[in-house]
Structure 1
């Protein structure tokens, strides 16, 4: 199967798991993603329509700007990927410009630059909403021209709606024919592997429980739901009413390459 790679680096991105994930998605007329992230599933699924949501307005703003501006956006973004801009001083200057900007297109261009130049491609904000990921020190950050073009093509080939909203609002908008794929912030696989607070506010146990309840309620309305998470006793309990598919994955977010061990991941299929 030929797969399309997302243009963003993304903690927990699903590109490497698509061979497991895509066959688990039921047929339908619209795929709904409450946590769209890098868009790997959207790019490689085959639905006529999509509702793609996330709480991060910079992420959704980037997608909407790319759809609107297309090649002009790609050209403007490419201009930032130079040796002169691949220094700590330039990175801090452009990061400050991003945090100070209120212009949607400028923020979108800088968001892509930061994503490719920041440490581990992380997207993280402090309590005041300031993007604060440090410089990544990459030798030559890759400019994803082909991946950006593929994303534009996919958006133009189907009916795509973007929205900045939480998962509760997204589930309230479900309609017959929808299929939901949810990739929430994961429950910790260990005491040192909690990545649930990058957007501020966190995604704790109350939200994990509400998400499982929303999935069960959606199924009662005739809408199938597939959720990803770590395979730990807690998720097994939360998703007790679902069919569980479990497999090993390699963690790529760790800053220490020697610690990128395999962990157990699950797909909870609510039908």
Structure 2
């Protein structure tokens, strides 16, 4: 199966780890992802249907629009991808338009524009809910047309919802499989990348997530796979899992290319034997 890239750049995206995740994901009819992000696992698996969720309203609204109006949306989006808009002044003007707009269609177009033009493709909002990632200064910008169309086609078998993970995981029925890709704890277990959209996802939330995974798997007989950094803390955190797997993945932990190093990842599978 040829690997498909997401049309969005995404911190913590799972494109590089997809083959490993596929190997450990149990079979089922439906895949539920409470932290869908850019959707690399969704795009590279073959379940009959999907429930894909995130707490980022802009992200879910974008996915629903692309699913329902792919041709119109992609053609309108293309108009934003030109040399003139790949300049700092235009970027900050369009970022201001995004932050001031309540028009969801316009926000969705600008969300993709900002994602492809901002620094490192980060998605970050300030305490007032304003997108605040600076201009990325790329020489050229790739317009992900074929990735957009692939996503839109596959999305016909998916339901996108904006909801917290607890609510999403409770939607699982027999023949569902759950894959959780929460904002990771940092490899050195200090602050790290736990600020996700407008909520913090710290130690307490990771603990609650592991307990919910355990309950759903062992009481309801619905398998749950969770990923995170491989550390002494996460090995303890997931010690009730049926299986713990270790995988290596290149992660950007420095903005300089030479600062990028491989950090081991943990995949914890909760599954009733």
User: Given the two structures, how large is their TM-score scaled by the length of structure 2?
Assistant: 0.96
Measured in 2, the distance between the counterparts of 1:118 and 1:253 equals 18
Q: Quote the Cα distance in structure 1 between the aligned partners of 2:198 and 2:5.
A: 27
Partner residue, 2:170 = 172
1:234 aligns with 2:236: no
User: Residue 213 of structure 1 is aligned with which of 186, 193, 211?
Assistant: 211
Where structure 1 has 5 or more consecutive residues not aligned to the other structure, the ranges are: none
Deviation at 1:254, TM superposition (A): 2.7
CA contact (8 A) 1:12 1:253 kept: no
Could you tell me which residue of structure 1 aligns to residue 37 of structure 2? 37
Paired residues in the alignment total 269
Per-residue CA distance 1:98-142 (angstroms, 9 max, x = gap): 011111110000000000000000000011111000000001111
Give the 5 Å matches for 1:1-271: 1-156=1-156, 158=157, 160-190=158-188, 194-219=192-217, 220-242=219-241, 243-252=243-252, 254-271=254-271
User: Distance in 2 between the 1:116 and 1:49 partners?
Assistant: 28
RMSD of equivalent CA atoms: 1.2
After TM superposition, the runs of 4+ consecutive aligned structure 1 residues lying more than 4 A away are: none
Q: Which secondary structure state, in structure 1, belongs to the residue aligned with residue 216 of structure 2?
A: helix
| Structure 2: unaligned runs, 5 residues or longer | none
Distance in structure 2 (CA, Å) of the matches to 1:25 and 1:172: 19
Q: 2:253 touches 2:261 (CA, 8 Å); kept in 1?
A: no
Give me the whole-angstrom Cα distance separating, in 2, the residues matched to 1:246 and 1:208.
18
Which 10-residue stretch deviates more, 252-261 or 77-86? 252-261
The Cα of 1:266 is off from its aligned counterpart by 1.0
TM-score, normalized by length of structure 1?
Answer: 0.97
